[in-house]
Structure 1
Amino acid sequence: MRCADVHFTHDNGYQVLRGINLNIRPGDRIALLGANGSGKSTLFRLLAGAWVPTQGHIIHRGQPVTYNRAGRDALRRSVQLVLQEPDDQIFAMSVAADVSYGPTNQGLSEDEVRQRVAAAMEAAEITDLAHRVPHQLSYGQRKRVALAGALAMQPEILLLDEPTAGLDPAGSRQLHHTLNALHERHTAVVLSTHDVNMAYEFATTVAVLVDGKLHVGSPGEIMTDKELISRARLELPWAPAVSHALGRTIEHPEQLL
């Protein structure tokens, strides 16, 4: 999937995205950074087919996305968006029922749905919560339920909007472990975050939105660019900041090992 010169202007005339180009390949781990209001959530909604670009195209499997029902359904079978607030996506009376909603509506057999739900809950580490009422769970647990619902669709691309927001350090580490396992299955993960340290450790590609433009490169290239990070109203991750102070160059977190 890729964005080809994508622009987006809101109904009030405010242009939030200006000529976005981004390639998402199987197994990619992409961190999307930017200040509040920079357009991260807008870009995710465009990638998921919920919104239509004002100009340019979202290319999926070599063809521009079409926005009729068939086109959107085809896109949603391979691209899943998990929103920042889990309660915006959870509605069933049990965790297992919520996770099964997507596969069931695809018309899959009961056996296939059951297998997908079991695998998704295992991947999200919530198997023990299968029969619980979602809205009686903790915030972090509800975020994992929403994630499992997306995983049950077996997407090629998983879009995570601020997945660590509201999580304690243990919850963030658990999420990181889950996302690393997805990488081994060649699922592309694109996450938006303000956590620059998580982005630096997790991503193979970093994309920073500033003034409607997307700056894309390796973690070592993008996240040591003081001017760009400052314009995005972020701070340098601790690893390159320390290495800079010591006069060392680190291209990627593996060099710290």
Structure 2
Amino acid sequence: MPFAKALTRLGGAALFTASTALAASAFDMADMSDAEREAFRAEVRAYLLDNPEVLMEAVDVYQQRQADQQVANDADLIAAYAGPIYDDSNDAVYGNPDGDIVIVEFSDYRCGYCKKAYPDVQALLEKDGNIKLIVKEFPILGDASVLAARFAVATKLVEGDEAYLKLHDELMQARGDISEGALRRLAKDLGIDADKVIAEMDSDGVTAVLAQNHQLATALQISGTPAFIMGDQMLRGYVPYDGMVEIVKEVRANR
């Protein structure tokens, strides 16, 4: 029976299964005549036009495989970079420092979704009571982002963790442009010595902290904010409060 006629009699998924098997054996595409190849292509095209849902199903399968591979890759990356992720003394810590769950957040003070996530994350820490949050400064949204991050890191270096956390809280809730003048006014309101902080902003120490965070983000394939690490999962983008609660439950259950 000619190949094209045999193919026409196949239906549904059998079309692709049979055509693949035939092409790999008796009907190798390389051994087919021009007419047979043309008939094969025409039959496949006709089938797909009559059954476009097959294409959508194939796309869904492909996307799921890609997502599964990304999850596996993320887990490997988290394990490989556990040291700089969890044990960097330059990072600030919220919540319970001895919590059984550790969340790591990469954030930018000009990121709208970081600001949207802020109250959700704080509520999660307060209501759960057994979560440690590590904050990594990751300014990626322009000069104002870098200015704010440098001011925050410098505050931690010269004024300590408590001053940094107060400043971080205010910057995450602030609206409007970030400027040196605005940072000075905010520092004054919080009892922070703005002159000392500004003198430290361009120091090698501050530059090193931000460079290390950028290098780590690149290694972890993080290119946007907010980004969270929870257990062996990386969450790129905003996650609503209820979603974070469920992920925390999942991480605890899998410990």
Scaled by the length of structure 1, the TM-score of the pair is 0.24
Which one has the bigger strand percentage?
Answer: 1
Between the two structures, name the one with larger relative contact order (CA 8 Å, sep ≥ 6).
Answer: 1
Which one has the bigger helix percentage?
Answer: 2
Scaled by the length of structure 2, the TM-score of the pair is 0.24
